[in-house]
Structure 1
Amino acid sequence: MSITAPDADLTIGWDTTVDDAPVALSARQDLIAVSGADGTVWLLDAATGTSVDTFELPGGALLTALSPDARHAAATGPTGYALWRREDRRITVHETGAWSSTATWADNERVAIAFGRRAHVLAPDGKKLWATEPATSTVTDLAWLRQGRRLAVAAYGAVRCHERHTLKPVMTYPYIGSHLALAVAPTGRWICSGNQDASIHIWRTRDAGELTMSGYPEKVSRLAFDDTGLWLAADGAPDVTVWDFSGKGPAGTAPRSLRCHETITSLAWRPGGSGHLASGGHDGTVALWRATAGRPESRLSPVRTLDSDAAVAALAWAGPHLLIAAHRDGRVRAHRLPSRTAL
């Protein structure tokens, strides 16, 4: 790994190069985790980009999730998962042979990990607290609701919700198709899945009322709610679509369209409910948007673009003032935004 000094441009905080192709980012508190395709995970200081630690996940990495207090990390991959503890840099690797697509922390004491057709909920030391019954196919995404009291599990045919220590789901939201991404509104009011059949399916959690938004030209594999739970960003087209979930939700409305990339590779809302969105593309461009401006059916242009020679692999905000971009050539760059209202 090599580090260069901050760029003369005040929007650049630092540049770091890691020795692998990044596939995912996680940012919490003062720490950033960068997952490499070959299985190395780099833990970086958010302020400087310097290395705090590294660890290996045999078989390759798909995602790394930091706990809210940044004291633990869970890395997942095609052949298992690994847990890292910051206090003593202890690493616990579980080579299970089960496809582990994702991990998500309920709080500092519980992490849910996709484990083949099940979801396992673990303590930070790896102790299994409980598990769901097998789904009909491999679990593709997970999300917590009700402040970590309920776990949503996406697999072919349905999103199933489990309470603590419940093998069987307490609520099932059916939809025949392959779910690629899951997004839950911070309010807990909505569950949304992005699907292989080029659609977004939405359930209202209180009564299971549902809506399908179809007609996307490509599969929808990225969904993200902002902090208010009123805006949902999605891929599935050259445009990023942004749906308004205020009032009764998006039924009968049209989204705002954000055109910059031919192929979208990442989406990340700025923390704090400012309506600012960052998107990354296969062309190496990072675009910054006032994504909630205009009216439904508006086509918005980026406020600014940040260009690189290599495809954007992942984006993450380390607080409201620092946007982290990882590129396929190994470069990880921090962009500083000094004001909550500036882009």
Structure 2
Amino acid sequence: MSALASTSSAAGTAWEIAVDDAPVALSAAGDLIAVAGAEGSVVIADAATGTEVGGLELPGGALSVALSRDAQHLAATGPTGYALWSRSGGPTLTVETGSWSSVAAWADNSRVAVASGRRALVLNLQGEMLWATEPAASTVTDLAWIRDGRRLAVAAYGAVRAHERHTEKPVVTYPYVGSHLALAVAPTGRWICSGNQDASIHIWRTRDASELTMSGYREKVSRLAFDDTGYWLAADGAADVTVWDFSGKGPAGTAPRSLRCHETVTALAWRPGGAGHLASGGHDGTVALWQATAGRPQARLRPVRTLDGDSAVAALAWSGPDLLATAYRDGRVRAHRLPSRNSL
């Protein structure tokens, strides 16, 4: 995939690039932004200018992309395998396993977990396998590190399983009869949440494995995101984005804030920091910016600001607190520079 960069005079637009693929995922870290396309191309661009600095091709297509925290390495996953890229200029490692690889997540700057069929593989920077989980009952749909890489949570049909380093068998199993589509772990490690095919969110408190189900969503819940404080969880599954309060004893017995803008939600991303700013994207091409923690439970909030596009939003990613990248289905990736972290 190649990219053509340009600047724009539109209010707040820092740059825009066009990629020769349909974007499916974005990742931002340090001074880089990476965009993955459905046909397997990945473009890596300078976050300040949009200038292409690297890329790779993943045979069989791409599903996700993840930059390491120091922006020196990248993992891309797809229907038939995964790839690892290094900024230092070493060869890109492409591994065609023939297994569905839905997602990758970095524990730190030296270890990455990759979903591969019914297992999660933990790899070093050279792509060597450090350890792997035992096979789950079905394909791994999502994974996330707990407490900066101390444990790995792996979601597959019927349960979320937590593994210590180098432990094939889980040390804790969080059962739930259903298909997990998305996994979110609070930065504090206190809560594990799954968005599910049966239009629900299931929650476990890691301290004692107590659990709670929040049902009644109109559609399956396939996007979940905690903010940096771990006190707020945003979810799709309805025309409204719901934002749940996890402070204190958690959301049991409470009602969420409702954010109404899109008929169909396609992307969610919290602004770094604790200001409660959320970006959401819709099938209509609109990006909405929210003071998502304002008001009281059951409040119906309106966006502080909207950014309009001509194509469905495919993915959102914040590059630091001031730059929001949006990938559109038509192949455009646009970066908006926003006011200080205290305002939108």
Task: After TM superposition, give the deviation of residue 92 of structure 1 in Å.
Answer: 0.5
Task: After TM superposition, give the deviation of residue 146 of structure 1 in Å.
Answer: 2.2
Q: Unaligned 5+ residue runs, structure 1?
A: none
CA distance in 2, matches of 1:319, 1:127: 31
CA distance in 1, matches of 2:9, 2:64: 29
CA distance in 1, matches of 2:90, 2:300: 47
Secondary structure in structure 1 of the residue aligned to 2:92: strand
Secondary structure in structure 1 of the residue aligned to 2:148: helix
Task: After TM superposition, give the deviation of residue 54 of structure 1 in Å.
Answer: 1.4
Structure 1 residues 282-314: Cα deviation after superposition (integer angstroms, max 9, x where no partner): 000000000000000000000011001100000
* 2:138 corresponds to 1:103: no
Task: After TM superposition, give the deviation of residue 340 of structure 1 in Å.
Answer: 1.0
Q: Quick check: 2:7–2:13 contact (8 Å CA) kept in 1? A: no
CA distance in 1, matches of 2:93, 2:131: 18
* 2:223 corresponds to 1:222: yes
Q: Unaligned 5+ residue runs, structure 2?
A: none
> 1:1-343 to 2 correspondence within 5 Å?
1-9=3-11, 11-343=12-344
Task: After TM superposition, give the deviation of residue 280 of structure 1 in Å.
Answer: 0.2
CA distance in 2, matches of 1:276, 1:16: 25
Q: Which amino acid aligns with 2:336?
A: H
Q: Quick check: 1:53–1:89 contact (8 Å CA) kept in 2? A: no
Secondary structure in structure 2 of the residue aligned to 1:289: strand
Secondary structure in structure 1 of the residue aligned to 2:219: coil
Q: Quick check: 1:28–1:68 contact (8 Å CA) kept in 2? A: yes
Q: Which amino acid aligns with 1:336?
A: R
CA distance in 1, matches of 2:10, 2:63: 34
Task: After TM superposition, give the deviation of residue 8 of structure 1 in Å.
Answer: 4.5
Distance 1:32 1:89, change over 3 A: farther
Task: After TM superposition, give the deviation of residue 337 of structure 1 in Å.
Answer: 1.1
Task: After TM superposition, give the deviation of residue 149 of structure 1 in Å.
Answer: 1.1
Task: After TM superposition, give the deviation of residue 338 of structure 1 in Å.
Answer: 3.0
Q: Which amino acid aligns with 1:253?
A: T
Structure 1 residues 119-176: Cα deviation after superposition (integer angstroms, max 9, x where no partner): 0000011000000000000000000012201000000000000001101000000000
Q: Which amino acid aligns with 1:46?
A: A
CA distance in 2, matches of 1:302, 1:254: 19
Report % sequence identity: 77
Structure 1 residues 238-279: Cα deviation after superposition (integer angstroms, max 9, x where no partner): 100000001100000000000000000000000001100000
Q: Quick check: 1:178–1:195 contact (8 Å CA) kept in 2? A: yes
Aligned length: 342
CA distance in 2, matches of 1:117, 1:264: 28
Task: After TM superposition, give the deviation of residue 4 of structure 1 in Å.
Answer: 2.0
CA distance in 2, matches of 1:156, 1:264: 24
CA distance in 1, matches of 2:49, 2:255: 42
Task: After TM superposition, give the deviation of residue 89 of structure 1 in Å.
Answer: 4.6
Q: Quick check: 2:266–2:281 contact (8 Å CA) kept in 1? A: yes
CA distance in 2, matches of 1:85, 1:4: 26
